[in-house]
């Protein structure tokens, strides 16, 4: 037996531990590599180059609402596994954190000497450098973080809300979204103007009351699937008990499905009151009539008889002509039998 590691799946901090690429600082994007688009804000580093990954003719590239600039750059070049390994082997590593024996401060900014923190042990695998995809981000963590941030912004949760005073000052420094800039009051304090997504106290209360009324089933999806498969398997060997294999269909309103034309003996049966619907156009009635005649096995011999009759006249498009003429021919044929 042989086993191969195809890729890793983890959250973003663990991405740095597995790949050896530091996921903090100006060059935190492992895909962008040395070509990361980052900018220093008041208290953090912002990454403004997401629009580079859009198609070149995308309208958002020309918009200045994002960071006050249009985006004309192409997407960053993607490095192959061989190029990454060569990049790792050609330089020294930047240690993660700060070693106690080092008294000097680490270099900050884009002028740091090194990029990679270490050489991943996974490169010892002979095929690892040939893989197009080596590391994946866990979708579960991404969805959770995005959902928490959105809810935190809407409800103004302390510690979870990204719409802070510093964020508003960053907008002022970048010269964008003037309607969201902090406004100075007469007493020297600042007022944060409400945004389009800002909810009032009543709206927040209604939002929480709505979520409170929703009932969520307990347990995990994986356990639910296992339980369902187990009970389904066991039900195959149970006698005298209604299971998914022997119970009647829920939409069956009675009647014998074994009688009548085969085209109407389907497992799904209509139920409820019969009401007259709107008038159907003539072309749709003709299509429905042809569908019944074409899919009823009881009419096969007559349809074949009519086909032979048409072929005797050296007709090229037999199917089209039969669709147009067979309903009337069949009606006349049946009337002669009676």
Q: Write out pLDDT tens, residues 134-148.
A: 999 998 888 888 989
Q: Rounded to whole angstroms, what are the CA distances from 112 to 44, 92, 94, 120, 304? A: 17, 12, 9, 20, 83
Q: Rounded to whole angstroms, what are the CA distances from 283 to 2, 70, 178, 279, 324? A: 62, 53, 59, 12, 11
With a CB cutoff of 8 Å and minimum separation 6, the contacts of 65 are 176, 177
pLDDT category of residue 127 using cuts at 50, 70 and 90: very high
Residue count (the chain):
338
Euclidean distance between CA atoms 337 and 330, whole angstroms: 11
Q: What is the structure's pLDDT at 113? A: 46
pLDDT digits (tens, 9 = 90+) for 40-61: 888 889 888 899 999 999 999 9
Nearest to 184 by CA among 172, 196, 174: 172
Between the two ends of the chain, the Cα-to-Cα distance in Å is 74
Nearest to 221 by CA among 140, 167, 304: 140
Per-residue DSSP letter, 8? E
Q: What is the structure's pLDDT at 99? A: 45
pLDDT digits (tens, 9 = 90+) for 278-295: 788 888 888 888 888 888
SS3 at position 6: coil
Q: What is the structure's pLDDT at 9? A: 94
Share of the chain above pLDDT 90, in %: 18
Is the pLDDT at 265 greater than 70, yes or no? no
Q: What is the structure's pLDDT at 252? A: 56
Q: What is the structure's pLDDT at 202? A: 92
Residue 209 has phi, psi (to 5 degrees) of -65, -35
In sign, the C-alpha dihedral spanning 10, 14, 20, 21 is positive
pLDDT digits (tens, 9 = 90+) for 14-50: 998 999 998 888 888 888 888 888 888 888 898 888 9
With a CB cutoff of 8 Å and minimum separation 6, the contacts of 51 are 58, 60, 61, 66, 71
Is the pLDDT at 101 greater than 60, yes or no? no
Q: What is the structure's pLDDT at 338? A: 63
């Amino acid at each position: 037996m042989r086993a191969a590691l195809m890729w890793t799946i983890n959250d973003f901090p663990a991405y740095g531990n597995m790949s050896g690429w530091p996921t903090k600082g100006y060059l935190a994007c492992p895909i962008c590599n040395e070509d990361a688009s980052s900018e220093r804000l008041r208290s953090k580093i912002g990454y403004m180059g997401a629009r580079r990954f859009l198609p070149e003719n995308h309208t958002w590239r020309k918009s200045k609402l994002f960071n006050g600039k249009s985006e004309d750059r192409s997407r960053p070049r993607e490095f192959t596994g061989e190029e990454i390994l060569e990049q790792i082997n050609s330089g020294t590593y930047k240690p993660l954190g700060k070693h106690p024996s080092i008294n000097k401060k680490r270099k900050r900014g884009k002028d740091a000497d090194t990029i990679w923190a270490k050489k991943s042990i996974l490169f010892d695998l002979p095929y690892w450098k040939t893989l197009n995809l080596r590391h994946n981000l866990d979708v579960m963590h991404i969805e959770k973080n995005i959902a928490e941030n959105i809810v935190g912004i809407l409800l103004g949760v302390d510690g979870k809300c990204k719409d802070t005073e510093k964020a508003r000052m960053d907008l002022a420094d970048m010269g964008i979204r003037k309607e969201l800039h902090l406004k100075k009051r007469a007493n020297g304090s600042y007022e944060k103007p409400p945004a389009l997504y800002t909810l009032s106290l009543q709206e927040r209360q209604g939002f929480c009351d709505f979520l409170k009324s929703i009932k969520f089933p307990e347990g995990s999806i994986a356990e639910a699937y296992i339980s369902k498969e187990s009970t389904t398997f066991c039900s195959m060997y149970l006698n005298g008990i209604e299971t998914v294999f022997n119970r009647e269909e829920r939409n069956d309103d009675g009647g014998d499905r074994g009688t009548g034309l085969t085209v109407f003996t389907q497992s799904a049966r209509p139920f409820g009151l019969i009401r007259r619907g709107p008038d159907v156009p003539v072309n749709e009635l003709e299509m429905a009539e042809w569908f019944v005649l074409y899919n009823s096995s009881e009419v096969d011999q007559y349809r074949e008889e009519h086909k032979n009759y048409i072929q005797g006249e050296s007709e090229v498009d037999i199917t089209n002509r039969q669709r147009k003429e067979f309903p009337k021919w069949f009606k006349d044929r049946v009337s002669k039998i009676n």
